[in-house]
Amino acid sequence: MDDFYVSHSRFSDPGPHADWLDATPADLAVLREAASQLVFHYWGSGAITEHGFPAARNDEITLRYAAEMWARLRELDPAPPGEPRPPLHRIVGCCRDFTLLFVSMARHHGIPARARVGFASYLMPGWYLDHVVAEVRTADGWCLVEPQLAPGFRDPVDDVGFDLLDVPRDRFLTGPDAWTAARSGELDPALLVVSPDLDVPFLRGLPYAWHNLVLDLAALNKHEMLQWDIWGALDDSAALAPATLARADELAELPADADVEQLRVAFEADDVRVPPVIHTVTPPGRLLAEVVLR
pLDDT digits (tens, 9 = 90+) for 34-93: 999 999 999 999 999 999 999 999 999 999 999 999 999 999 999 999 999 999 999 999
Least confident of 143-147, 275-279, 280-284: 280-284
User: What pTM did the predictor assign?
Assistant: 0.97
Q: Which of 148, 117, 143 is nearest to 130 (CA)?
A: 117
**How many other β-carbons are positioned within 10 Å of the β-carbon of residue 288?**
11
**Percentage of the chain lying above the pLDDT 90 cut:** 93
Q: What SS3 class is residue 182? A: helix
pLDDT at 264 over 90: yes
Least confident of 7-16, 91-100, 193-202: 193-202
CA distances from 214 to 78, 93, 192 (A): 36, 21, 15
pLDDT at 189 over 90: yes
Tell me the pLDDT of the chain averaged across its residues.
Answer: 96
pLDDT tier for residue 1 given thresholds of 50, 70 and 90 = low
pLDDT digits (tens, 9 = 90+) for 149-179: 999 999 999 999 999 999 999 999 999 999 9
Angstrom distance (rounded) from CA 225 to CA 272: 12
CB burial of 228-256 (b: ≥16 within 10 Å; e: otherwise) equals bbbbebbeeeeebeeebeebbeebbebee
End-to-end CA distance of the chain: 25
pLDDT at 284 over 80: no
Looking at residue 2, its pLDDT comes to: 75
Looking at residue 199, its pLDDT comes to: 87
Q: How many residues are given for the chain? A: 294
pLDDT tier for residue 232 given thresholds of 50, 70 and 90 = very high
pLDDT tier for residue 256 given thresholds of 50, 70 and 90 = confident
pLDDT at 217 over 90: yes
Q: Is the peptide bond before 80 cis (omega within 30 degrees of 0)?
A: no
pLDDT digits (tens, 9 = 90+) for 81-128: 999 999 999 999 999 999 999 999 999 999 999 999 999 999 999 999
